[in-house]
Amino acid sequence: MNFIEALKLRSKLLFIFIIIAVGLFFIGIMGAINLNSMKKNLDSLYFGSLVPVIELNTILQTYHGNLASTIYKAKNMQITPYGVKSQIKLSINTIDKEWKNYEAHFRRDGESIYVEYTAAEIKATNQYFLGILKALEDGYDAKDLVIDNVEKKITHIHEVINKLINYEVDVAKYERKTFLNVYDSILVKVGSILGMVIFSVMVISYYVFKSIQIDQTTLEITTKKLKIANKKLESASYTDTLTGLHNRRYFNLIYDREIKRAKRNHSYITFMMLDIDYFKQYNDTYGHIKGDVALKSVAKIFKDILKRPSDFVFRLGGEEFGILLTETAESNSATMAGNICDAVRAHEIKHEGSKVNQFLTVSIGVACCVADEALNEELLITRADEMLYRAKESGRDRFSITTDISIATSHKVDEARLN
């Protein structure tokens, strides 16, 4: 009897398989007929508009962020002559490359005139900066550069390229509208066939699966195992595999959550940026395996000191760590930073390549404030990074702390040296 029932079940499953296969065959035919048309629309929408806009924006960013910034820094003696020349050459090469990629895309009738005009303007602007480069190579003093002329050049090329970007965006809107019209037509055709197939499958499936009994207990056990596995996987995705600390992905999640909570409660929020002093030299001296051991040791020190549930320690990358403290006032934050510096030094991890101590040390930048709606989340991190830089500039193996998280450039900074 069981053998006969098994045969019936196989027959039903075979029948439903045939129905699905036939349905998919017809859907495949419809898809093949309209595939080329859909591909052209997708190519035109994506490759015809999105990629060119990205390339043009890259050119603009290079002009503004690299070339103009380099000239400004050169005039203010904030960059070496070699650095100026290197940055100008690199920027010009980047612009030429991105423009060649842009010109290689498909062009519609009537587009070539303005593209050629833009190419000429880009070439002229690049020649201007190459002229500056040649002048610098010939001994021209960077302090004598006229920033107004540079700004005029950048402004002009910005206007020229921006018109091209606006045109590409308008084309994208038009292509999208055209594509949606074609898509709606295809959707109706495919939907009709698909609806018929789905209806047939549903009717037959009702009779097929009505005869199949599910082992509920096995399903529940499998579900529980899957949930446990998912939790383990989720935990692994938020953990740095080397140190066991939270990783940057988890930092992005927790940082946003705790900032919002602190704003609601108008409570203290502290962020510390930590960096192992001369860690590159440590790796060069002892090797990367020893370097990994040192990272694990430092991570364990952090865990031993920061035990509150509201204290979060992250490995942000390489030898850089981050610590987020909630409801911790400035004085307590400073004490905590000092304890961390002391604990790392007291662990006596030998470091012959260090210029500040015979043992491994850390530098810490601390930003602490009472959160309110005006708090700039990015600026909190920036201030901590500035304080880290200041601690390093002051000799390392110490921390620097600030409570000024405003946009103003002038701010008070409290510094402490730990011996």
State the Cα–Cα distance between residues 271 and 387, nearest whole angstrom.
Answer: 11
Q: What b/e string do you get for 212-239 counting C-beta neighbours within 10 Å, with b at 16 or more?
A: eeeeeeeeeeeeeeeeeeeeeeeeeeeb
Directed axis angle between helix 288-305 and helix 279-286, to 10°? 130
Catalytic hit among 55, 98, 319, 386: 319
State the Cα–Cα distance between residues 131 and 119, nearest whole angstrom.
Answer: 18
Q: Name the pairing type of β-strands 362-370 and 398-402.
A: parallel
Is 378 an annotated catalytic residue? no
Answer positive or negative: Cα dihedral of 380, 381, 384, 390.
negative
Reading across the β-sheet that carries 362-370, which strands appear in turn? 311-317, 320-326, 268-276, 362-370, 398-402, 413-417
How many Cβ atoms sit within 10 Å of the Cβ of residue 55?
21
| Beta carbons of 354 and 342 less than 8 angstroms apart | no
**Structure token digits, residue 156:** 């002009």
Among the listed residues 360, 347, 273, the one whose alpha carbon sits nearest the alpha carbon of residue 317: 273
Q: What is the dihedral of CA 219, 224, 226, 228, to 10 degrees?
A: -170
Burial of residue 281, with CB atoms counted within 10 A of its CB: 0-12 exposed, 13-18 middle, 19 or more buried: middle
Q: Name the pairing type of β-strands 413-417 and 320-326.
A: unpaired
State the Cα–Cα distance between residues 368 and 101, nearest whole angstrom.
Answer: 46
| Beta carbons of 389 and 381 less than 8 angstroms apart | no
Q: Could you give the count of Cα atoms lying within 13 Å of 47 in the half-sphere of its Cβ?
A: 12
Euclidean distance between the first and the last CA atom of the chain, given in angstroms as a whole number: 87
3-state class (DSSP) for residue 213: coil
Q: What b/e string do you get for 99-112 counting C-beta neighbours within 10 Å, with b at 16 or more?
A: beebeeeeeeeeee
Which sequence positions are flagged as catalytic?
319
